[in-house]
Chains A and B, each alone.
Chain A
Amino acid sequence: MSTAEPITPRAVGAGHARVDGPLKVTGHALYAVEHGSDEGVTDPLTAWVVGAPVARGRVVRVDAAEALAHAGVVAVLDHETAPRLTETGDAELAILQDDRVHFRGQVVALVLAETSEAAREGARLVRVHVAEEAHVADLDEGVDAGEAYAPEQANAGHETDWADGDLEAARGAASVVVDQTYATPHEHNNPMEPHAAAAHWDGERLTLWDSTQGVHPVAGTLAPLLGLDQERVRVRAPYVGGGFGSKGLPHPPEVAAALAALSQPGRWVRLAITRQQVFSLTGYRTQTRSRVRLSAEPDGRLLAVEHDALSQTSRAKEFVEQTATAARMMYAAPARRTTHRVVPLDVAVPSWMRAPGEMPGMFAHEVAMDELAVACGVDPVDLRVRNEPDRDPETGKPWNDRRLVECLQRGAERFGWAGRPAEPRATVDGDWLVGTGVAAATYPTLWNPDNAARIESRAGGRYAVGIGAVDIGTGARTVLRQVAADALGVDVEAVDLALGDTSLPMATVAGGSAGTASWGTAIVQAAQQFRADHGPDPAPGLHTVSTTEGYPDTEGHALHSFGAVFAEVRVDRWTGEPRCTRLHGTYSVGRVVNPVLARSQLHGGLVMGLSAALHEDGVRDPRFGHTVTQDLATYHVAAHADVPPDLSAEWLEESDLLATPFGGRGVGEIGIVGTAAAIANAAWHATGVRVRDLPATPATFVGGVRG
């Protein structure tokens, strides 16, 4: 069997409590560097990263004498003494292999010591002598130097440029034009658990306890770097303290842990980076600039959509945020043009952060839509309804089930949108200027092939289900059990689920809102194959392993999720302080496997979108080249007091069997999409100050609150 059949939902759709909740809240769930002798991690060394003190140059010499003289320090690895990698083509991962410094904070030495205190002090005592070279760490400086270029493709394989229709004619026919530039800052994924790993090399095999969104992807990346067969790399990640994309791909901390272990055969090495190092070594969302030009009829119907996206990447490694891709499919328009340009700088390597592309892109696009609504005198909800495409504008394919209009209308009703004054500054409540705003959300239905699952019958009618998937806090451990139970036709209590280990069948990354869909499909297929192989009442000890080749109908249909976000924002008329006081999202995400956990995901996305709207700002000092707001006191993420008292997420009852055999699509990312735009639009409605740069802070409004 190469394709799973739809299942009858019984456990799927029920709000089962998070199965690992009690372990987590009692501190019994162990994270990467917490594993001890119970799991064989005995007498570990601690490794500490020494970061490059300049943004660009050459390491002349690493003077480790003082560090090595320090009690407890065992070794200092540098580019001359570290074990050699077999593959060095990826300059982000090829740490300690040559003397080049690509960005400030890059790993230039590793200190190994008997204790974490000795390792940290040893790192402070390492003297890194560098030949510094002139660097560029500022986007404008790179642009002015003519360094912006068109990449071969954007993240996730998206086309760099894509256009359709007769743009000149459409522009010429337009009577209303919005033409503005929107900016989002560097944003840094800050999971509670910083990136960490414990590694062991026994001369034959490398074993890692890792903090990652994918054990097989880590093994699959590290093995060729180290010149090993993948079977000789075992990676485990039973519990992970969040990732938000930053643990989706291996980053230097994992390579550092592996090199440290290779240098000390037979000895465990633990490496946990500091919060400050998270800001330079684990990826981040690049700043973006979007020029959006909407050309429209007087009634707001779009004639042309243009989105030119600019971002920056590291000279060490290209990463191109796919900022303009949502503009290709979001609304109907006879003509369209989207481009991506990128500037390479001497800076840390950007990477995935929750909804790469859609998040900054839909901020720009959806604020532009609000500006168009104002320019046309059309209600912002109606404007979006008027521009509803009957097919995917990008591919020409029919939609799987595009229900954006329902999301908008139902959300509007739930939020109390009707009767909203069209004019800004229309509502004052005491010291507060009050406004409301809306934005649409979208996220593609991604699905990763080649996942496999193992089903084994056990005594007493129980089943062991194994897949290498990682639960990074999303609830995968709970929802996959529900999927498995329905696929096998048994109660969830009869399913023993094993996750997070490369010794289990292959699983792809917990990312792209594709985890539950991809892994769940593999489990369904394996369960159905098991029944075909062994029948409804198998003897204990029988098993089946099955690998998925394909499920979603991407040939015949364009698969996307949609949503509508509504926000109320209050801005203090004296100080310009903005606060989001109501936030609601209505989503179309297919069948929700677990309403409790899905709501957590959507709430988390909404709050993270709020955080991007009003708080998060990775400030790079271009003179030095690194992010100077590099801790949680100076890099603001929304605090509990910033979360609106009235926060809600709901979804349409539906089942999308084009997407998965259980009818669900992903919920991990769509919550962050559009949210910043809804809040920015509400802030405009409150104050009349148009927000085109994030984050919007008191400084954004204080000049305008007095009218």
Chain B
Amino acid sequence: MRELAYVRATSPDEAVAAVAGDPQARFLGGGTNLVDHLKLGIATPGTLVDVSRLALAEVEGTADGLRVGAGVRNSDLAAHPVVRRDFPVLARSLLAGASGQIRNQATTAGNLLQRTRCVYFQDASTPCNKREPGSGCSAVGGHDRYNAVLGASEACVTVHPSDLAVGLAVLDAEVVVLGPDGERRLPYDELHRLPGHHPEHDTTLAHGELVTAVELRRSPVARRSTYEKVRERASYAFALVSVAAGLELADDGTVSDVRVAWGGVAHKPWRARVVEDALRGEPLEEERVRDVVAEELRDATTTTGTAGKPAMLAGVTARALTRLAAPGPQVEEAGR
């Protein structure tokens, strides 16, 4: 048996101190990803600092929105009435991921910090720069169907697996982080990073920094938002591509504000700013959406396995925005 120490932290400060002071220590949230890694032998922490019982599991109203505790379970967040009303993209992205059992266990921060499902990352017998820096990237020239098409590097071509992470990318969100030197806040967009030469780092967090909450600001685009996912089976499959979208229409029907983020295309949720800028001030039309998606994808790199992703992105983005633009209440799409 490989022995490891288990510490149940009694306060966030204690948890941070325990991990920050020990390079071999890791936070343990819901454990739905890390425990797999222990079994696969691709994570070998010396100490697990359990943060799942800290008082971080509340969803609280704030002056302009919501504060979601890092330990809120995915199922609870998806079912929260204010989330469903004011931030439907969150509920939908959460429900598009994993299975009911996993969502009951997985936490908000754990979801955002989950690691890639690249088959080579999860197979200790194959090279992977993310798992073992400098060993090489097996996904280049390998099983490529889930690879990135934007923002990849020679060192890593994988994508971020989270649906929630994509959903959050279209909201005005901040991540609250506790470190050894106290609390800091960062715009959500700065949490995840592109791989560059250091794919071993998924995020900009330092070792020992603990996400304690995610704060959301209400907005018209948040309220009129959705998440749609293209997948190879109807549940329990990671996205081939996905789109989170929020829309605000002016009285004349033109787009006054729009947010689009993609999953399944990059090492981080890909905020499609070219698409957003092009659509603002215009009437929303399917063909126009498809054209500006192509614009955003001008620098995309595809391989045999990812050749269909641009067309999927065009289709799913157009579908999501068209549905958001349709008058009447937003209809929950079954099975997506």
Q: Is the CB of B307 within 8 A of A705?
A: no
Return chain B residues, CB-CB under 8 Å to A53: 125
Q: Bound state CA distance, A624 and B143, in angstroms? A: 11
Q: Is the CB of B232 within 8 A of A615?
A: yes
Q: Tell me whether B274 is interfacial, beta carbon within 8 Å.
A: no
**Stretch in A80-88, A495-503, A544-552, A695-703 touching the partner:** A695-703
Return chain A residues, CB-CB under 8 Å to B307: 699
Return chain B residues, CB-CB under 8 Å to A431: 319
| Among candidates B233, B311, B319, residue contacting A614 with C-beta atoms closer than 8 Å | B233
Return chain B residues, CB-CB under 8 Å to A574: 315-316, 318-319
Q: Is the CB of A621 within 8 A of B142?
A: yes
- Scoring B117, B238, B311, B316 by chain A CB atoms within 10 A of each residue's CB, the highest score goes to B311
Q: Tell me whether B134 is interfacial, beta carbon within 8 Å.
A: no
Q: Bound state CA distance, A465 and B70, in angstroms? A: 60
| Among candidates B2, B119, B240, residue contacting A699 with C-beta atoms closer than 8 Å | B240
Closest residue to B316 on the A side, CB-wise? A575
Interface residues of A in 677-707 (CB under 8 A from B): 695, 697-699, 702-703, 705
Return chain B residues, CB-CB under 8 Å to A117: 1-2
Q: Tell me whether B123 is interfacial, beta carbon within 8 Å.
A: yes
Q: Tell me whether A115 is interfacial, beta carbon within 8 Å.
A: yes
Q: Is the CB of B232 within 8 A of A636?
A: yes
Q: Is the CB of B233 within 8 A of A623?
A: no
Closest residue to A122 on the B side, CB-wise? B1
Q: Bound state CA distance, A573 and B314, in angstroms? A: 12
Mark contacts of B120-133 with chain A using CB atoms, 8 A cut-off: 1 yes-contact digit, 0 otherwise. 10110110000000
Return chain A residues, CB-CB under 8 Å to B328: none
Q: Is the CB of A641 within 8 A of B315?
A: no
Task: Quote the shortest CB–CB distance from A493 to chain B (angstroms).
Answer: 39
Interface residues of B in 218-263 (CB under 8 A from A): 230-238, 240
Size bin of chain B's contact surface = 35 or more
Closest residue to A105 on the B side, CB-wise? B125
Closest residue to A54 on the B side, CB-wise? B125
Q: Tell me whether A124 is interfacial, beta carbon within 8 Å.
A: yes
Q: Tell me whether A297 is interfacial, beta carbon within 8 Å.
A: no
Closest residue to B304 on the A side, CB-wise? A699
| Among candidates B125, B318, B335, residue contacting A641 with C-beta atoms closer than 8 Å | B335
Q: A121-B1, A623-B141, A630-B123 are in contact. Are A702 and B236 (CB under 8 A)?
A: no
Q: Tell me whether A145 is interfacial, beta carbon within 8 Å.
A: no
| Among candidates A572, A639, A697, A699, residue contacting B236 with C-beta atoms closer than 8 Å | A639
Q: Bound state CA distance, A118 and B120, in angstroms? A: 25
Q: Is the CB of A703 within 8 A of B143?
A: no
Q: Is the CB of A619 within 8 A of B143?
A: yes
Q: A574-B319, A621-B142 are in contact. Are A639 and B235 (CB under 8 A)?
A: yes
Return chain B residues, CB-CB under 8 Å to A639: 233-237
Return chain A residues, CB-CB under 8 Å to B122: 631, 634
Task: Quote the shortest CB–CB distance from B96 to chain A (angstroms).
Answer: 12
Mark contacts of B300-331 with chain A using CB atoms, 8 A cut-off: 1 yes-contact digit, 0 otherwise. 00000101100110011011000000000000
Mark contacts of A626-644 with chain B using CB atoms, 8 A cut-off: 1 yes-contact digit, 0 otherwise. 0011110110101111100
Q: Is the CB of B232 within 8 A of A698?
A: yes
Return chain B residues, CB-CB under 8 Å to A14: none
Q: Tell me whether A576 is interfacial, beta carbon within 8 Å.
A: yes
Q: Bound state CA distance, A51 and B287, in angstroms? A: 53
Return chain A residues, CB-CB under 8 Å to B311: 576, 702-703
Task: Quote the shortest CB–CB distance from B309 to chain A (angstroms).
Answer: 8
Q: Bound state CA distance, A642 and B237, in angstroms? A: 11
Q: Tell me whether B41 is interfacial, beta carbon within 8 Å.
A: yes
Closest residue to B323 on the A side, CB-wise? A431
Q: Tell me whether B138 is interfacial, beta carbon within 8 Å.
A: yes
Q: A702-B308, A703-B311 are in contact. Are A628 and B120 (CB under 8 A)?
A: yes
Q: Is the CB of A115 within 8 A of B1?
A: yes
Q: A124-B41, A574-B316, A630-B119 are in contact. Are A699 and B308 (CB under 8 A)?
A: yes
Mark contacts of B139-166 with chain A using CB atoms, 8 A cut-off: 1 yes-contact digit, 0 otherwise. 0011101000000000000000000000
Mark contacts of B277-314 with chain A using CB atoms, 8 A cut-off: 1 yes-contact digit, 0 otherwise. 00000000000000000000000000001011001100
Closest residue to B41 on the A side, CB-wise? A124
Return chain A residues, CB-CB under 8 Å to B234: 579, 639, 641-642
Q: Bound state CA distance, A574 and B228, in angstroms? A: 11
Q: Bound state CA distance, A431 and B319, in angstroms? A: 9
17 additional A-B pairs beyond A431-B319, A633-B117, A641-B235, beta carbons within 8 Å, are A53-B125, A104-B125, A124-B2, A574-B315, A574-B319, A575-B230, A576-B308, A576-B315, A614-B232, A621-B126, A621-B142, A623-B141, A628-B119, A634-B122, A636-B237, A639-B234, A641-B335
B residues near A, CB below 8 A?
Answer: 1-2, 41, 117, 119-120, 122-123, 125-126, 138, 141-143, 145, 230-238, 240, 305, 307-308, 311-312, 315-316, 318-319, 335
A-B contacts, 20 listed (Cβ < 8 Å): A104-B125, A573-B315, A575-B319, A576-B311, A579-B234, A579-B335, A614-B233, A619-B119, A621-B138, A621-B143, A623-B142, A628-B123, A628-B143, A630-B119, A636-B233, A638-B233, A639-B233, A641-B236, A698-B231, A703-B311
Instruction: Sort A-B residue pairs by CB-CB distance and give the 10 closest, nearest first.
Output: A117-B1, A574-B315, A641-B234, A699-B308, A574-B319, A641-B235, A628-B119, A702-B311, A575-B230, A702-B308
